[in-house]
Structure 1
Amino acid sequence: MIHIVGAGSGAVDLITVRGARLLGEADTVVYAGSLVNPNILTTYTKPDCEIYDSARMTLEEVLQVLITAERAGKNVVRLHTGDPCLYGAIREQMDALDSAGVSYEVVPGVSSFCGAAAALQAEYTLPGVSQSVVITRMAGRTPVPEKESISSFASHGATMVVFLSTSYLEALRTQLLEGGYSEETPAAIVYKATWPDEKVVHGTVGILPEMAAKNGITKTALILIGNFLGKAYERSKLYAPDFSHGYRTAQKKGPSNAD
């Protein structure tokens, strides 16, 4: 069994209990060295654990290490940043393991988009503002389907979380404006969410490139766009005293002092 584990958004103690246990039992770990906090490895792995940095490896080299170790009866962890289901390139690994007849399990993690919301002390889905979150990225060396362009998503006015795009902020701003966001739409950049050197920058769509440049942010950051960062929203019906649901009956309004 190979365990594909989400390391969490960066903070050492934001890995899941299951993920930490599996790391502690692992004989071999292949981790995403460009993004995973190395302190997670020193905190949870045992001294004799074999550790490989996949940032310097091809897919074939990663698979060779994983499969060889698993067939030797070792406990094996493939450690990804955040949650493996987002930009983790795990499908190709799982397909290869299926072809090799090797069993595996995916262990979820705390994604950086959750860590960014925590850093901002923000809620992505505010009543009357936005009830949808678009998680996407700019096209770069790896293309994005045309129907999933930033401008097409921007036309919905929903909350947007943009990964892997700090190097393309001029083009990102252009596409956001073309899609319908205004220059005054609130925006934020969160650098290394939940890491010790986390940095949060507030601004608007119109000055996104300047926000990054002024703060020396060139990579490892999320860009967040939408009116969820503003002050206006409607109160949730869930906890409103005049709203009934399966667990609570609406409270009747008593007479006011004017009656």
Structure 2
Amino acid sequence: MLTSLQNPLVKQSRQLHQSKGRREKQLFLVEGTHLLEEACRKDYPLITVFYTPKWQEKNKSLCELVCQKAQRIELVSDRIIQSLATTVNPDGIVATAPQREGKFWQITTLGIVLDKIQDPGNLGTIIRTAVATNIDGLFLSRDSVDLYHPKVVRASAGAWFNLDKVISENLENDILQLKAQGLQVLATVPNSNINYWDIDLRKPTLIVLGNEGSGISKDLINLADYSVNIPLSNGVESLNVAISTAIILYEVQRQRQI
């Protein structure tokens, strides 16, 4: 059993708390029983799995599955799990997994583009909502928050493993390619006189959402077929970008069920 915080493997894995460490090692952390269940269900590869004897005793079937899928298994003390986890009260298991960036693909019915999203909780919530509304996939600008940030993965509640995601080097080019595939493009802006529900969302659609403070860049707005807004009461400046995404995605679902 590993008990020392100075163990080289433990020290290397703790570096994944930081974006620099994740980028250099091309790995990220998967924390907690539920996320490990989702990773295994989607057959996502695991590198090293750390778990405590108490966790092993409570989760025998999952432990057996994890042992089959992981390249390396380590039984560790509670102290080690506490040091590896980014949560206050970890439940006894933490794993490292490889980063796997998606390639550009065809969106047939519905996709979203996120421009310079900065809050990891927002991104994780958007991913969770995207899976709940059955979108084809998500494009994320390279200058957004790290897709592999622990808070992003946790906030997705496991949905992270169930959505096709592309980190885009050039959102303009990607949007142009998607328009060429026949998708209509909606940009969400605060000053449009078109409400989001006024658009026929039964058509193949790409929804563009922007930074929590500055919104979508002008270059991307200019590519949109429609600029739409979410009406707000007087005195309300804006909505959280994750809430805005959910509102529009569920309007898509409503229209397509009529």
Q: Which has the larger helix fraction?
A: 2
Max Rg structure: 1
TM-score, normalisation: structure 2? 0.27
